[in-house]
């Protein structure tokens, strides 16, 4: 995909990705950046996939209960329809979005919009998750946040599933996942 460069005095956009494991503070960091943009009098809009209803159907909510109003969407292309006049777009749980999300983010950045996407970079099996790997490859700025391993206290960047559920997508929190370091992740239940 070729995107024409900006010319003249057009506003420059970019793509930021905040990624990491469960309980690493991804959503917390997204909310912090969006609130700062709002304080700077930027026009901000936040989106999340409709599948994420763990804490709220409409709000983006961190595990620490911080929240910000959002617009649930079925498909990433909907962002293009709803971002007119917006200067900063936030996207939470980006790993659950469709494969067109990187294209949408590129289009937004080309329009001069700052795009901040947050999501899991790996699923519970340690595999790259959804559109996040593609987003990482095109991002201008990447922040990888880490949790603390619940087994040994080291830095954790894996989301270990504690339930026997095998589907790739399982919305949950501490009842279904725990953050683990590489060593404890691969030890499995014996850790």
Residue 115's CATH number: 3.40.50.300
Residue 51 lies in a domain: yes
Q: Which of 93, 100, 125, 178 is catalytic?
A: 93
Residue 5 lies in a domain: no
Q: What average pLDDT does range 129-139 have in this prediction?
A: 97
> Are 99 and 135 within 8 A, CB to CB?
no
> Are 123 and 168 within 8 A, CB to CB?
yes
Reply yes or no on whether 87 is catalytic. no
Backbone φ, ψ for residue 32 (5° rounding): -60, -45
Residue 159 lies in a domain: no
Residue 163 lies in a domain: no
More confident residue, 185 or 3: 185
pLDDT at 134 over 50: yes
More confident residue, 163 or 91: 91
pLDDT per residue as tens digits for the range 93-113: 999 999 999 999 999 999 999
- In which domain, by residue range, is 35 found? 14-146
How many distinct structural domains can be found in the chain? Answer: 1
pLDDT band at residue 61 using 50, 70 and 90 as cut-offs: low
Per the prediction, the chain carries an average pLDDT of 88
> What local confidence, expressed as pLDDT, does residue 1 receive?
47
pLDDT at 116 over 70: yes
pLDDT per residue as tens digits for the range 62-104: 555 566 678 899 999 999 999 999 999 999 999 999 999 999 9
> What local confidence, expressed as pLDDT, does residue 59 receive?
56
Residue 48 lies in a domain: yes
Residue 137 lies in a domain: yes
> What local confidence, expressed as pLDDT, does residue 168 receive?
77
Contacts of 38 (CB under 8 A, 6+ apart): 44
Measured CA to CA, the distance from residue 17 to residue 26 in angstroms comes to: 9
Residue 165 lies in a domain: no
Residue 178 lies in a domain: no
């Amino acid at each position: 995909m070729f995107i024409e460069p900006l010319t003249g005095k057009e506003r420059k956009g970019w793509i930021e990705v905040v990624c990491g494991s469960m309980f690493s503070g991804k959503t917390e960091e997204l909310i912090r950046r969006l609130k700062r943009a709002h304080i700077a009098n930027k026009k901000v809009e936040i989106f999340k996939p409709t599948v994420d209803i763990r804490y709220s159907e409409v709000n983006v909510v961190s595990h620490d209960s911080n929240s910000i109003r959002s617009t649930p969407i079925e498909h990433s292309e909907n962002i293009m329809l709803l971002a007119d006049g917006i200067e900063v777009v936030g996207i939470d749980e980006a790993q659950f979005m469709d494969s067109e999300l990187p294209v949408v983010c590129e289009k937004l950045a080309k329009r001069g919009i700052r795009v901040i996407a947050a999501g899991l970079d790996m699923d519970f099996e340690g595999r790259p998750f959804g559109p996040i790997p593609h987003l990482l490859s095109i991002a201008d700025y990447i922040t990888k946040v880490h949790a603390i391993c619940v087994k040994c206290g080291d830095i954790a960047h894996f989301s270990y599933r504690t339930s026997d559920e095998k589907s790739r997508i399982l919305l949950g929190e501490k009842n279904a996942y725990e953050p683990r370091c590489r060593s404890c992740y691969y030890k499995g239940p014996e850790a």
